[in-house]
Amino acid sequence: MRVLVIGSGGREHALCWSIAASPLLTKLWCAPGNPGIAAVATCIPIGAMDIAALVAFARDNAIDLVVPGPEAPLVAGIADAMEAAGIPCCGPTQAAAQLEGSKTFTKEICDAAGIPTARWERFEDVAAARAFVRRRGAPLVVKADGLAAGKGVVVALTEDAALAAIDAMMDARIFGESGAAVVIEECLTGDEVSMFALCDGTHAVPLGSAQDHKRVGDGDTGPNTGGMGCYAPTPMFGADLEQAAMDRIIRPTLAEMARRGAPFRGILYAGLMLTADGPKLIEFNARFGDPECQVLLLRLRSDLLPALLAACDGELAHFDLRWHGGAAIGVVMAARGYPDAPERGSEIRGLAAAEAMPGVQVFHAGTVADADGRIRAAGGRVLTVCATGATLPAARDAAYAAVDAIDWPEGFCRRDIGHRALAR
Ligand code: AMP
Ligand code: GLY
């Protein structure tokens, strides 16, 4: 099989690493990839959003399967374009990717299918949004309706904070047109977990759950990020809750999407709040999480490639995935200044020493190799340093030992990944 992975982050490195281990694989490409991915795939200099060039490459190179990592090309219709060219693509069509692209769309699906989620209202008018906040009072959650790189959500504990968020999104347009409308939600409380399911339009197979750490600083302080680390499995989300979420959230969503003529194929990511009334949906994403993908794939014992193919072919009904026991953890190393203004260009040393440590896997994200082959920081989140272990504390200790083996003074990480599970 000839496979093309699209993207350049830690998630795509993990996808390539996992697919590269498949005995079914004959050749693997990644567009555009990164220096870590280059160790397991041929990187091609085509951007993830250059859909026409990606389709042409896939056609010219007789690609059997395309695996998009990030949401932006999915929302822009890469799966539709590949399908039109007769190339299997393990990702949702543009219509199905609205589950991530539009918060209103997801809320309407929830209402239509009776899926448990926070009560909500949508506003296109600033004055109406402000009046609603004054009427309801805090806490409330204010969300830009469109894509905002994971940053368009404000959990407002006071009325003033909610009003400020509305002004920033709708008036100042800090997220551009994504703030033309806002969704204002009831604030849910409980443990937060992310669950993932591989979907074929009708059937879904669980890919496990993980708990991300979205704030930049230890103790969940500072601004939100794309995710500073995560671990799996999640002790607060056992088999019974996973079953409940599959039955009450994932499967009804697939049924409703199919009923609307937009069946969802690919990886469905459900952000859940484990409330006193059971799991409730916070949001969907139409892709794997990053860094959740890295950690979940480390625990996958089955071959990923036939599972992705079965998702494309509508053949997941009797598909079973097997998993390793024990725990996995991923610690994101970011460039100083992340998330606001990450510094670029600093050299990262010691990667080989870290990678040689038992149970450790280092996935690259924002890295480049310079003319001398030295690895340098080129983005906000730069590495995901992952480890597996018999227990979560063992995995955590291995991951931080690997972090300490990496010589990169200009980088930083959170030191408390896994704290909610470790404190239990
Ligand atoms: P998102 O970018 O949609 O993942 O949201 C960012 C974070 O906001 C989530 O991870 C939650 O912690 C929080 N959040 C979103 N919606 C709600 C809600 N209705 N109640 C409480 N917290 C929420
Ligand atoms: N780690 C969160 C995300 O991928 O959206």
What residue's CA is closest to ligand 1, atom 2? Answer: 150
User: How many angstroms is it from 153 CA to the middle of ligand 1?
Assistant: 7
pLDDT at 26: 98
Integer CA distances (angstroms), 266 to 90, 115, 311, 314, 330, in order: 5, 20, 6, 10, 23
Domain range list for the chain: 2-89, 125-180, 191-313, 327-422
Cis check for the bond before 32: say yes or no (omega within 30 of 0). yes
pLDDT at 150: 64
User: How many angstroms is it from 227 CA to the middle of ligand 2?
Assistant: 6
Q: Mean pLDDT throughout 270-297?
A: 97
Pocket test for ligand 2, best of 290, 294, 329, 332 (most atoms within 8 A of CB): 290
Q: Mean pLDDT throughout 203-230?
A: 95
Task: Give yes or no for residue 148 having a pLDDT over 90.
Answer: no
**CATH class entry, domain 327-422:** alpha beta
**Architecture of the 191-313 domain:** 2-Layer Sandwich (3.30)
- The share of the chain scoring above pLDDT 70, in percent, equals 99
Task: Give yes or no for residue 149 having a pLDDT over 70.
Answer: no
d(CA 408, CA 404): 9
Return the sign of the alpha-carbon dihedral for residues 423, 241, 227, 141. negative
Ligand nearest to the CA of 138: 1
**CATH class entry, domain 2-89:** alpha beta
**Architecture of the 125-180 domain:** 2-Layer Sandwich (3.30)
Q: pLDDT digit string (tens) for 93-146? A: 999 999 997 888 999 999 999 999 999 999 999 999 999 999 999 999 999 887
Q: Which atom of ligand 2 is nearest to the CA of 293?
A: 4
Ligand nearest to the CA of 106: 1
Close Cβ partners of 303 (under 8 Å, ≥ 6 residues apart) = 21, 22, 23, 24
Task: Give yes or no for residue 309 having a pLDDT over 80.
Answer: yes
Q: pLDDT digit string (tens) for 22-40? A: 999 999 999 999 999 999 9
Ligand 2 pocket list (CB less than 6 A) = 150, 212, 226-227, 285, 289-290, 292
Structural contact between residues 17 and 296, judged by C-beta atoms closer than 8 angstroms: no
DSSP 323: B
Q: What angle do CA 259, 261, 265 make, to 5 degrees?
A: 95
d(CA 124, CA 154): 17
User: How many angstroms is it from 412 CA to the middle of ligand 1?
Assistant: 25
Task: Give yes or no for residue 2 having a pLDDT over 90.
Answer: yes
Is any ligand 1 atom within 6 A of the Cβ of residue 150?
yes
State pTM to two decimals.
0.94
365 token code pair: 């994200």
Q: pLDDT digit string (tens) for 230-279? A: 999 999 999 999 999 999 999 999 999 999 999 999 999 999 999 999 99
d(CA 32, CA 240): 40
Supply the mean pLDDT for the chain: 96
Question: CB burial class (10 A; 0-12, 13-18, 19+) of residue 245?
Answer: buried
Q: Which atom of ligand 2 is nearest to the CA of 292?
A: 1
Is any ligand 1 atom within 6 A of the Cβ of residue 67?
no
User: How many angstroms is it from 106 CA to the middle of ligand 1?
Assistant: 14
